[in-house]
Structure 1
Amino acid sequence: MSTSTAQTRANLGRRDVDAEQTGGVGFGKRRRMERLGADGRFLFVPMDHSVSDGPIATVRQFRRIVADVADAGADAIIVHKGRAASLAGVPLGRCALIVHLSASTGHGPDANAKVLVGTVEDGVRLGADAVSIHVNFGSATEAEQLRDFGTVATACARFGMPLMAMVYARGPKIADPFDPDVLAHITNVAVDLGADIVKTSPPHAIDNLSMLVQHCAAHLLISGGPRNEDDDYGLVQLAQDAIAAGAAGLAIGRRVWADPDPAGVVRALAGVVHPASTPR
């Protein structure tokens, strides 16, 4: 081995040691990201809707849905901190936990005005593999939501906690929430402010999705939205098109847990997102 090669390897090793000695932030985030999606692909099931929209299911049914989707191959569930604490004893297996930190309800004067109701420390205390926040661009409180985004991102960097940003174009200044140029803008803002994973709506024309992927430096996930009875564009087709366009995966909530067979939906989607994985 040449002297220069040996020195290069020594320097690389020193940087690894330095990272661990400064709190293991780099190592901690890598470990958590691997638990979220070891192959760089992600299939998340958001279940935070009980705050924004009302009860998803009875307590027993909620726990059963969580266990079923975890067993079927979901990479992570997304819930609020109180719900996370209530899931003690539910077998998650390899399914990760993401604690959601944003909230609003339809009973308030502005449902798009998301506020922080949790901290990164809450996620650490609960053993979360990531935390998530929600920002509605174009809303009357966009500035406050961006400020909260920055605060959370700084804390995530301090704790080595992956940050997922759910970003949507919603508010009085938004003419078309599915405009690909608008979606490209808001996903870039999420990356610039520190998100590791970005979830947003698919554009009207799925062909434009590759443009979003090319402009997004973080892992881009596509949401499913509410089920439209008149729409025959199914979730599996959405998953196939998203992965083909280069997206890192999907975050599908109500179209999973509102289905009569949540596990079956997750199993079908997991077959697209993780085609080489062994069924769980």
Structure 2
Amino acid sequence: MKRRMHRLFKKDGRIFILAMDHGTGLKVLPELNDPGVLIKVAVENGVDALLTTFGLAVTYQKEIGEAGLILRIDGGTSQLGPKGGVAGRIFTVEDAVKLGADGVVCMGFPGASSEDVSLKELAHFVSEAYHWGMPLLAEMLPMGWDTQHWTPENIAFACRLGAEYGVDFVKTQYTGDLESFKKVTAGCYKPVVILGGPGGNSEEELLRTIKDSLEAGGAGVAIGRSIWKHPNPGKYCRAISMIIHEDASVEEALQELA
């Protein structure tokens, strides 16, 4: 367990994850026509770990190289399926072990209509991950994807619940300001990383959000669409990495994109 966590988190205790697990449920074309090119560029420019689907992990092992690998082991319906599907297990932690993964990821939806199913699945994955010595990242989102309930108080509760269930680190939504996010990280005794959202924020806005989250005690980011939809993903990765691992200012990071 500790060896895998050390591969994911750097010596500063922070992590920069590129999320590429969208292809099982959302539209990723044409931006991800050639995932191998993006993976190679991202790793060369400071990404610490890739959060991927099973297919990507198997196919692009060479491009992932020495970077950390986090495997998505649950899933719901695709964009062609019925809305409101419940994320359930689709792969096992043993599958991740066979792939040489350093971690696994699943969802956790406290307060959602499917809360009983979601939290039972979360407990199952925690137990299985503990058995294999595999770090588990849980995306803890209050009420699931019903964003109107993503208040700072609910996010803090969801993250703490994840820690109480035994996850090793948590991925969640940034609360919008430094002071409220301090309460999230203070109330969760496991590392908290923020998600990147749908990718509509400006470069400066996203970089400032990352900077503020770190100053509030966050442990890093898991960002997908904002990076792989960007016209220059390599430069964007470099700018984000500067903020996470070099304590660069937003202004300094923006110079990488000039």
What is the TM-score when the length of structure 1 is the normalising length? Answer: 0.81
Determine the C-alpha separation between the residues in 2 that align with 1:243 and 1:58.
29
SS of residue matched to 2:70: strand
Partner of 1:184: 156
**CA RMSD in angstroms, aligned pairs only:** 2.2
Determine the C-alpha separation between the residues in 1 that align with 2:44 and 2:69.
14
Partner of 1:13: none
Q: Which amino acid aligns with 1:257?
A: W
Q: Which amino acid aligns with 1:188?
A: R
TM-aligned CA deviation for residue 59 of structure 1: 6.6
Equivalent residue in structure 2 for 1:94, among 36, 41, 66: 66
Q: Which amino acid aligns with 1:222?
A: I
SS of residue matched to 2:28: coil
Partner of 2:194: 222
Q: How does 1:45-60 map to 2 (within 5 A)?
A: 45-57=18-30
Q: Which amino acid aligns with 2:217?
A: G
SS of residue matched to 1:236: helix
Partner of 2:255: none
* 8 Å contact kept, 1:113–1:136: no
* 8 Å contact kept, 1:153–1:163: yes
Change beyond 3 A, Cα 1:194–1:42: same
TM-aligned CA deviation for residue 255 of structure 1: 0.5
Partner of 2:5: 33
SS of residue matched to 1:225: coil
Partner of 1:24: none
TM-aligned CA deviation for residue 69 of structure 1: 0.6
Give 5+ residue unaligned stretches, structure 1: 1-28
Q: Which amino acid aligns with 1:213?
A: T
Partner of 2:101: 128
Q: Which amino acid aligns with 2:197?
A: G
TM-aligned CA deviation for residue 98 of structure 1: 0.5
Say which one has the larger Rg. Answer: 1
What is the TM-score when the length of structure 2 is the normalising length? Answer: 0.88
SS of residue matched to 1:176: helix
Partner of 1:249: 220
Partner of 2:254: none
Determine the C-alpha separation between the residues in 1 that align with 2:228 and 2:31.
12
Q: Which amino acid aligns with 2:9?
A: G
Equivalent residue in structure 2 for 1:73, among 32, 46, 69: 46
CA deviation vs aligned residue, 1:123-176 (integer Å, no higher than 9, x gap): 00000000000123333222111111111111111111000001212359x683
Change beyond 3 A, Cα 1:223–1:31: same
Change beyond 3 A, Cα 1:111–1:80: farther
Determine the C-alpha separation between the residues in 1 that align with 2:177 and 2:170.
19
Determine the C-alpha separation between the residues in 1 that align with 2:229 and 2:31.
13
Determine the C-alpha separation between the residues in 2 that align with 1:232 and 1:263.
13
Alignment of 1:236 with 2:184, yes or no, is no
SS of residue matched to 1:199: strand
- More displaced stretch, 92-101 vs 160-169: 92-101
Change beyond 3 A, Cα 1:216–1:99: same
Change beyond 3 A, Cα 1:123–1:178: same
- More displaced stretch, 51-60 vs 72-81: 51-60
Q: Matched residue pairs, number?
A: 246
SS of residue matched to 1:217: coil
* 8 Å contact kept, 2:113–2:143: no
* 8 Å contact kept, 1:76–1:95: yes
* 8 Å contact kept, 1:72–1:266: yes
Q: Which amino acid aligns with 2:209?
A: L
Counting aligned pairs with the same residue, the percent is: 27
Q: Which amino acid aligns with 2:237?
A: V
* 8 Å contact kept, 1:113–1:139: no
SS of residue matched to 2:217: coil
CA deviation vs aligned residue, 1:195-247 (integer Å, no higher than 9, x gap): 11100001133431111010011110011112336x67522111111111110
Determine the C-alpha separation between the residues in 1 that align with 2:97 and 2:138.
17
Q: Which amino acid aligns with 1:130?
A: G
* 8 Å contact kept, 1:179–1:204: no
